[in-house]
Amino acid sequence: MRERTKKRLPAMLCAACLLLAVMCSCGTPATETSVPPSEPDISATQPEPVQASAPEPAVSADSVLEASSQEPEETEFVDDWVWPVDTPDAALSLWYAYPPFFPNFYDSADEFPAWVYCQEKTGIDIQFEECTFMNAQENLTLMIASGSYTDMLFNMSNYVTTNLEYAVNESIVVDIAPYIEAHAPNYARYFFSDDTYVKQATTDQGYIPAVYQLNDVAANEGINKSGPVIRSDWLEQSGLELPATYDEYHEVLVAFQQFCDHPFWLPYTGGYLGAMFSGGFGVSAEISSSRSFIQEDGKVVFCPTQDGFRDYLSLMHQWYTEGLINPDFASNTQNAYAPTNDEIVNEEIGVWSSAANLMDFTNLGNPNVVVVASTNPVQKKGDTTVFGDKTAALGAELCITTDCRNVELAMRWCDWWYTEDGYYTTNYGIEGESFVFDDQGNPQYTELILNPQGDMTVNIAQSLYTCGNGMLLGVQDPKRAYQWYTPDKVEAEKLWGTVDLATGLMPRVSMTAEESAVFSSRFSDISTYLQQIVPQFIIGTEPLENWDVYVENIEAMGLAECLSVEQAALDRYNAR
């Protein structure tokens, strides 16, 4: 264990320790089954049961959650395990899809510094079966179809339509609910500290099918991680203010044509993640099973058939015909979510959507590129949009498959990421390399992160040397990026957070096996159709006069069944 001075830890940890004491005095959580897991092979190093007597009077769960919002007291992490494990030849296999920039710096995921350090500390060898984001869906689908799985799957639900409850019922992944307290006590302290985590992680049948990366809900209130950005130097030279409405954005884009040919960057799908630029019409233009459906006062709505979606397409078509959008946007399939650095530093675009941690381009060879955050456009001044890129309570997920012969060992490996060592590794990397502790015992990034060399940006450096930005598990420190954020980045997240982030977006619902089968078969055809026709509407090869036919086609593909399934799942979620 690293030696360090006493530190102030997140309030959620203090609440977590209280809640674990309550749980130990009151029994197991409701999500547990009555059948205990088999005894682990690592019994020699299994922690002693947590001894906690019930306080007088008994502490309620409500008081624990209230404590999580108060100023934390000084405390220390508690880790009951002995590391490394004493299990001979401890090894686990992990399926992992790495981001596009990864191969530019590493040949294999097992070279990733944080994972090398984790293996050294835990004594557990992780054997990777890896692929890129781009072929992850095909790769994982083939694995599942084969019936032979790695021990663990990272972010499975991102790449296949199978929901995790169905995956448990089909004996693909394990329900970890019976294992959490005994075999992941560090994770349990965090996980059971906020009922938001438990509600979102638990399926309708009471399964907890994954270990989740956890985000501090209270600390992220009023924060939106991404939104529109604009070339501020071009804005100043044009004598214009930051736009707020669609008309004002149009004025800015027309003015920017003096600096580049096609100033508005649009994803090849025709819509941004998080309803950027479409939220002002009351719809999400992201084509996905999770974001195409929204809720309005408890009723599920399918955005691509709404009038607001047609209005959005009409506006994008206008901007396209005026040359504000690259005529080849629909063929740029390699960049689904954001423009390339080359497009930005070569001054080919002036307005796009970005995250705050991606707003600095000074080390990429063109210091003239200066951007500023702007609000999502609305139709009239004073309107608000109900969509955004809010940090979810649950982040990345890791499932343990039914092919894993030592579930207890897998849970223990996951649990390491929620120890003190794991907390600092996932957020700050390796002590003495990517971070050091200051005189007050607070972690501070080193120049390795703050001043990266070559083509590496700060954001990439942080991802490569830590496990932040959804790269793996752990409890995410929401303030870690503020060490290198300039004031404009901090303000950007607050500006983007002025929308009602909780309204509209669907929560993590779960479907029954029957519902999942129906939804997957119907939505697969609908999604394929949308990916083809939405860009055609924008380009004009499919005229918007054919809107009614388009809606009828989607309805004929089984939209009513998809809506019925989503509504039933939402009703069950709200009743939890």
pLDDT digits (tens, 9 = 90+) for 20-47: 443 333 433 333 333 333 333 333 333 3
Instruction: Identify the band that residue 67 occupies on the pLDDT scale cut at 50, 70 and 90.
Output: very low
pLDDT at 81: 81
250: left (phi over 0), alpha (psi -120 to 50) or beta: alpha
Strand 435-437, strand 211-215: pairing: unpaired
Q: Rounded distance, CA 92 to CA 122, Å? A: 12
* Cβ–Cβ < 8 Å for 320, 567: no
- Read off the pLDDT of residues 545-565 as tens digits, 9 standing for 90 and up: 999 999 999 999 999 999 999
Do you find a cis peptide bond into 507, omega within 30 degrees of 0? no
> What pLDDT does 74 receive?
38
Instruction: Classify 15 as helix, strand or coil.
Output: helix
DSSP 390: B
How many C-beta atoms lie closer than 10 Å to residue 367's C-beta? 10
Reduced 3-state DSSP string for 501-535: CCCCECCCCCCCHHHHHHHHHHHHHHHHHHHHHHH
Report strand pairing: 91-98 vs 125-132: parallel
pLDDT of amino acid 115: 87
518 vs 34, higher pLDDT: 518
Find the Cα–Cα–Cα–Cα dihedral 486, 491, 494, 496, rounded to 10°.
-100
Residue from 428, 323, 378 nearest 7 by CA: 428
Q: What confidence tens digit (pLDDT) does each residue in 369-422 have? A: 888 999 889 999 988 876 666 677 888 999 999 999 999 999 999 999 999 999
Give strand pairing partners of 378.
245
Q: Which residues pair with 431 in a beta bridge?
A: 435
Confidence of residue 165 (pLDDT cuts 50, 70, 90): confident
Confidence of residue 1 (pLDDT cuts 50, 70, 90): very low
Backbone angles phi, psi at 94, to 5 degrees: -135, 125
Residues whose CB falls within 8 Å of the CB of residue 295, separated by 6 or more in sequence, listed in order: 301, 504, 505, 506, 570
Query: How confident is the model at residue 24, as a pLDDT?
Result: 39
Rounded Cα distance between 272 and 290, Å, is 14
Cα atoms found within 13 Å of the Cα of residue 201, Cβ hemisphere only: 29
Taking the C-alpha atoms of residue 192 and residue 265, their distance in angstroms, rounded to an integer, is 42
Is pLDDT at 78 greater than 80 in this prediction? no
For residue 209, what pLDDT band results from cuts at 50, 70 and 90? very high
Amino acid at site 356: A
Q: Which residues contact 336 (CB under 8 A, 6 or more apart)?
A: 267, 268, 269
Helices 420-428, 113-122: crossing angle, 10 deg rounding:
170
Cα–Cα distance, 444 to 183 (Å, whole number): 32
Q: Which has the higher per-residue pLDDT, 205 or 530?
A: 530
Q: What is the pLDDT of residue 213?
A: 93
pLDDT-based confidence at residue 510 (cuts at 50, 70, 90): confident
CA distance 30 to 28: 7
pLDDT of res. 155: 93
Q: What is the mean pLDDT of residues 267-294?
A: 87
| Three-class SS of 275-301 | HCCCHHHCCCCCCCCCCCEEEECCEEE
Non-local CB neighbours of 333 within 8 Å, separated by 6+ positions: 268
Question: Confidence class of residue 18 from pLDDT cuts 50, 70 and 90?
Answer: very low
H or E element, residue 114: helix 113-122
Q: How far apart are CA 176 and CA 208, in angstroms?
A: 6
Instruction: Give the pLDDT confidence of 320-362 residue by residue, as tens digits.
Output: 999 999 999 999 887 767 888 889 889 999 999 888 777 766 5
Contact assessment for residue 317 and residue 544, using Cβ atoms and an 8 Å cutoff: yes
On average, the pLDDT of the chain sits at 82
pLDDT tens sequence across 90-140 = 999 999 998 878 888 888 888 888 989 999 999 999 999 999 888 888 999
Instruction: Provide the β-strand partners of residue 91.
Output: 125
Please, which residues have CB within 8 angstroms of residue 456's CB and are 6 or more apart in sequence? 105, 464
Percentage of the residues of the chain whose pLDDT score is greater than 90: 50
Please, which residues have CB within 8 angstroms of residue 521's CB and are 6 or more apart in sequence? 558
Residue 373 tokens, joined: 């955050």
Q: Which of 377-381, 459-463, 539-543 has the highest mean pLDDT?
A: 539-543
pLDDT per residue over 241-266, tens digit each?
A: 999 999 999 999 999 999 999 999 99
Does residue 463 have a pLDDT over 50?
A: yes
Q: Tell me, what's the pLDDT at 31?
A: 35
Predicted confidence band at 539 (pLDDT cuts at 50, 70, 90)? Answer: very high
Task: Count the neighbouring beta carbons within 10 Å of the beta carbon of residue 424.
Answer: 22
Question: CB of 411 within 8 A of CB of 400?
Answer: yes
Report the pLDDT averaged over residues 427-450. 93
pLDDT tens for each residue of 308-318: 999 999 999 99
* 521 vs 527: CA distance, rounded Å: 10
CA angle 130-132-137, nearest 5°? 90
Phi/psi at 62 (nearest 5 deg)? -60, -40
Segment 48-67 shows an average pLDDT of: 31
